[in-house]
Amino acid sequence: MEISLIIRTCPKDLHRLALARRFIQTATEKGHTIRQCFFQSEGVVSATQAECISEWQQVADHTQAELLLCSQAAEEYGVDAEGPFQIGGLGALVEAAVRSDRVVSFV
């Protein structure tokens, strides 16, 4: 099964980000594929915090999934795409959702 994730977790909720990474690990261990992680709203800030980047780099290396920062949110919060992240629009999210069997959201 191919899975895409939408992550909107606020920066103060590092526990929920850890849950998202644990979900990804468990899903891949069970033979599923992670197509994309789309960070939206405050999720772009959460994902690009210094203490989180190396963990998301490991996710990217392990899954080969796209890690996209919402272009609008990245502009709004002044976040640049570095490391494993790229900037993408809602069109990329829609395309991933259409091509995935499931879309899971972490708010």
pLDDT tens sequence across 26-80? 999 999 999 999 999 999 999 999 888 999 999 999 999 999 999 999 999 999 9
Biggest CA pair distance of the chain? 37
Classify burial at 99, counting beta carbons within 10 Å of its beta carbon; exposed 0-12, middle 13-18, buried 19 or more: exposed
Q: Whole-structure pTM over 0.85, yes or no?
A: yes
Structure tokens at 9: 């977790």
pLDDT at 59: 95
- In which residue are the tokens 């849950």 written? 19
Spelled out in words, what is the top-level CATH class assigned to the domain 2-106? alpha beta
Q: Report whether pLDDT(14) > 90.
A: no
